[in-house]
């Protein structure tokens, strides 16, 4: 059974999608052993507690320096020794020290079709604001492995979503979550737990069942 650590910062809807997928057996061979939040007020903590999952708060704001926060996160992850780390709405950048130690063991859900609208500064609603400002007609979500480049690791799954001309950032965010994020995140976690994903030349491949 794969031990999964989930990193969160906010509302935790992606965490909830994972918890439900494990319950429904859509994710096989995986169990969430720990949820770490970078925000002490995150709703995601309540979602984890209600599902009887161990939680840890490393409140980013209570660390003076980014380096101190990153070190605490590194120690916590090393101690937990998860097989997979899922950034499910984790709005902090992970340092190279952590991505090197857990190479191809950390995945992230990003609310756009990478390489569009991604990288430093593109997170949460800001992504959807930029999508609407540019006027693209299609957006979506991407699950990718995490390396030292922000949103730059090998892409695992993507799903497109229509942008409507009446959309607000909030309405578009909701559609991207419902139609893309919650769907591809659990699928990617299941593939990884079943050992069906491998990385070659910075690209991912999915093996047949
Ligand atoms: C999600 O839309 C996720 O894709 C995004 O933050 C939101 C968190 O929602 N992540 C990023 O922007 C990372 N760059 P949630 O807490 O309800 O899952």
What average pLDDT does this structure show over 31-40?
98
- Ligand 1 is surrounded, with C-beta below 6 A, by 8, 10-14, 44, 88-89, 109-111, 123-124, 127, 177, 181
| pLDDT tens-digit map of 78-137 | 999 999 999 999 999 999 999 999 999 999 999 999 999 999 999 999 999 999 999 999
Ligand 1, atom 14, lies closest to the CA of: 123
- SS3 per residue for the chain: CEEEEEEECCCCHHHHHHHHHHHCCCCCCEEEEEEEECCCCCHHHHHHHHCCCCEEECCHHHCCCHHHHHHHHHHHHHHHCCCEEEECCCCCCCCHHHHHHCCCCEEEEECCCCCCCCCCCCCCHHHHHHHHHHCCCEEEEEEEECCCCCCCCCEEEEEEEECCCCCCHHHHHHHHHHHHHHHHHHHHHHHHHCCCEEEECCEEEECCC
- For residue 42, give the ligand 1 atom closest to its CA: 16
Question: Global pTM?
Answer: 0.97
Q: Where are the domains of the chain?
A: 2-206
Which architecture, in CATH terms, is 2-206? 3-Layer(aba) Sandwich (3.40)
- For residue 91, give the ligand 1 atom closest to its CA: 13
């Amino acid at each position: 059974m794969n031990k999964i650590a989930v990193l969160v910062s906010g509302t935790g809807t992606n965490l909830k999608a994972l918890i439900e997928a494990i319950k429904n057996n859509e994710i096989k061979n995986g169990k969430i052993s720990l949820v770490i939040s970078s925000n002490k007020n995150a709703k995601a903590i309540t979602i984890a507690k209600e599902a009887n999952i161990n939680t840890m708060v490393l409140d980013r704001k209570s660390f003076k320096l980014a380096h101190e926060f990153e070190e605490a996160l590194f120690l916590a992850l090393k101690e937990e020794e998860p097989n997979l780390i899922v950034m499910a709405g984790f709005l902090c950048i992970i340092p190279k020290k952590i991505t090197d130690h857990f190479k191809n063991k950390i995945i992230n859900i990003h609310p756009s079709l990478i390489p569009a609208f991604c990288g430093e500064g593109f997170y949460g609603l800001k992504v959807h604001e930029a999508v609407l400002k540019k006027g693209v007609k299609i957006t979506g979500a991407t699950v990718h492995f995490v390396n030292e480049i922000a949103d730059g690791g090998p892409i695992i799954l993507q799903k497109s979503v229509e942008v409507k001309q009446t959309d607000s950032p909030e309405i578009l965010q909701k559609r991207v979550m419902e139609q893309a994020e919650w769907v591809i995140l659990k699928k990617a976690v299941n593939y990884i737990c079943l050992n069906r994903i491998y990385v070659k030349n910075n690209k991912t491949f999915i093996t047949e069942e």
